[in-house]
Structure 1
Amino acid sequence: MTVLYAKQRGVGLVELMVAMVLSLFLLAGLFTIFFSTRQSYDTQQDLSRLHDNQRLAATMLAQTVQQAGYFPNPTTFTRAEAFPSNATFATAGQIVFGGNVTSEALAIRFVAPAAGGHMLNCQGGSANGATTDIYRIDYDSNIKANVLECSANGAAFQPLVNRVNTMQVLFGVDTNSNGSADRYMNAATVTANKAWANVKSVSLRLVFDNPLNKPQAAPGQPATIAMPIVVNLMSAPNNQ
C-alpha cells in the first residue's frame, strides 16, 4: 500500500513582513489612543487644579479681607481709637494698605472679639483681639512657581494658593462722602490723596499660570488667566 503525504508549506518572508507591518499599524493606533486619552486626562486634572485654586483664593480672600475695619463696640470707640497708627498703617483709622513685596501686597486689620468670636485670620487660626493680615505673592522653590501667601500678626508667611503669578490691588475710595466707593485707585494714588481712611472696598486681580500653555496642548493658549475679585470692607464710615 502506498502512503501519500500532504506537502506542507511554511510561512514565507513576504507573508511574515506583511504580518509585522500590520501589527505595527495596530500597535501605533493603540498607542495613539492611549496617549490621546492620557493627554486628555492630564488636561482635565490641570484644569481641575486651576479651578480649585481659583475657588480657594476667592473664598479665602472674600472671607478674610471683608473683615477689615471690624471692631466691637463702635458706640464706645471711634475707628481712629480702635485702629491707631503704627509702622504699617500710617494714619489712625486706616484699615488697609498696599505696597510692593515681590508683587503687589495687601495688608488689612480688624479687631476680633476677645472671647467667644468666630473670626479667623488669613492662616485659618482663630483671631483674638487686634489682628493684621498681610497677603503677598512670592516664589516657592519647591514647586518652582509663584504662590499667594499670607502672614498673620507678624508670623512667618505661609503659602495659601499655588501658581498665582501676580496679584494686582486697587482700592475703592469714597471721594464724595456718600458711604460707597466711587473711584478705584492704586496704593500710591490713595497715599497721595490721603484717602486711606475712606477706602470702602478692595479690587484684587489674581493672575494664575495657565496649565494649558504647554507644547502638547492646543495652540494659542495664553500664558496666564486672570481672575478679578471685589471685596467690600466692614468699615464704619460714621466712626472715623
Structure 2
Amino acid sequence: MMNKRQPGFSLIELMVALVLSMLVVVALVQIYIGTRQTNRTQEMQARLTEDGRFALSMLQRLISQAGYRPPSEALAADRIAPDATTPSTKFVLRTKGDGTNIVNCNGAAITSGTDTTLTIQFASSKLSCITSDTTPVTTDWIATQTGGRGTEVVDFQVMYGIDTAAAPNTLADDYRCGGAGANRDCVADSYVTTLPTGVTSVQIVAVQLCLILRTEMADAGISKASAVKNCSGTDISNSQTDSKLYRQFQSTVLLRNR
C-alpha cells in the first residue's frame, strides 16, 4: 500500500504569509495610533471650549449684576471700576446681595444686604476672581493643573464702553440713565481700555471681553499655517510651532443697573 505524501507550504508561501500578516498588523497599529491622536485632539478641544464657555458665563453674570441694590438706594458710582494700574486686565465690580440671585465668584448666593466687592484679574496664565465681603476668597476660574492637562490663559483684554454724548433726559431722577442729574442715553459711544480724562466709572455702560485660551498639553500632530493672534491682533510668540491648541472667546456685556 502506497502512502501519499501530505503536501505542505513552501518556504516562499510561508514568507508571503508572514509579510501579509505584518502588513495587517502595521495597518492596525496605524489605525490605533491615528484614532488615539484624534481622540486626544478632540479631548483638548472640548476642554478649551468648556473652560472658555464657563469663564464667559461667569463674567457675563457678574458684570450684569454690578450695581445691584434695593430701589431705595442710589446707584453706586463705582459699581464697576477699572484697575488703576492694569485696567485692561483687571477690574472691580460692586454689588449688594439679595440672598438668591446675586452671586459671588464661586457662584454662591450673596447674603441679602451684604455689600460685596468682586475683583476679576488675569495674571500668571490664570483668570481669577476675588470675593471680598468679610474675608477675601480667591477662585481660579481657569488655571494650569498638575500633570499638564489644564488650560492656560494666554491673553485677556477688557474694553469699557463709555457713554459720553449728552442727551436731553426728561425722566424723573430715579429713572434716569446714570442716576439723578445725568443727561445720557446709556449707549456706548466708544470702547476704551483706559478711561479718558474727565470720564468716570459711572459712564461705563458696557464691557467688551476678549479671552484667548491655550491647552497646556502639546500634541505633535497639531500644526498651524500661521501664528495665532492675541486680542490686540499681534502674533503670539511661538504659537505657530508649539503644537498646542488655541481658542478665542469674545463677548459684550451690558451693565443693567444704572
Shorter-chain TM range is 0.7 to 0.9
User: Judging changes above 3 Å, is the alpha-carbon distance between structure 1 residues 211 and 21 closer, same or farther for their aligned structure 2 residues?
Assistant: farther
Conserved 8 A contact 1:136-1:150: yes
Identity between Structure 1 and Structure 2 (%): 25
Give the 3-state SS of the residue equivalent to 1:69 in structure 2.
coil
Q: Counterpart of 2:4 in structure 1: which amino acid?
A: A
* 1:119 maps to 2:102: yes
- For residue 199 of structure 1, the aligned residue among 197, 204, 224 is 204
Q: Distance in 2 between matches of 1:151 and 1:172?
A: 23
Match of 2:169 in 1: none
- For residue 35 of structure 1, the aligned residue among 29, 33, 36 is 33
Write the mapping of 1:59-208 to structure 2, written as runs, cut at 5 A: 59-73=57-71, 76-79=72-75, 83=76, 93-99=77-83, 104-113=89-98, 116-128=99-111, 129-139=114-124, 146-153=125-132, 155-162=136-143, 163=151, 164-176=153-165, 177-187=184-194, 190=195, 192-208=197-213
Which of the two has greater helix per residue? 1
Match of 2:3 in 1: 5
Q: CA deviation at 1:8?
A: 4.3
TM-score normalised over the length of structure 2: 0.71
Q: Counterpart of 1:180 in structure 2: which amino acid?
A: V
Could you tell me which runs of 5 or more consecutive residues in structure 1 were left unpaired when the two chains were aligned. 84-92, 140-145
Q: What whole-Å deviation, never above 9, does each CA across 1:169-209 have from its counterpart, x for those lacking one?
A: 0101010122221111113xx16334222111111101111
Q: CA deviation at 1:220?
A: 2.5
Conserved 8 A contact 1:96-1:106: yes
- For residue 257 of structure 2, the aligned residue among 218, 235, 240 is 235
Match of 2:173 in 1: none
Count of residue correspondences:
209
Give the 3-state SS of the residue equivalent to 1:235 in structure 2.
coil
Q: Distance in 1 between matches of 2:105 and 2:196?
A: 25
Could you tell me which runs of 5 or more consecutive residues in structure 2 were left unpaired when the two chains were aligned. 144-150, 166-183, 229-238, 240-245
What's the Cα RMSD here?
A: 2.6
TM-score normalised over the length of structure 1: 0.76
Which of the two has greater strand per residue? 1
User: Judging changes above 3 Å, is the alpha-carbon distance between structure 1 residues 17 and 217 closer, same or farther for their aligned structure 2 residues?
Assistant: same
Match of 2:172 in 1: none
Give the 3-state SS of the residue equivalent to 1:47 in structure 2.
helix
Q: Distance in 2 between matches of 1:229 and 1:53?
A: 15
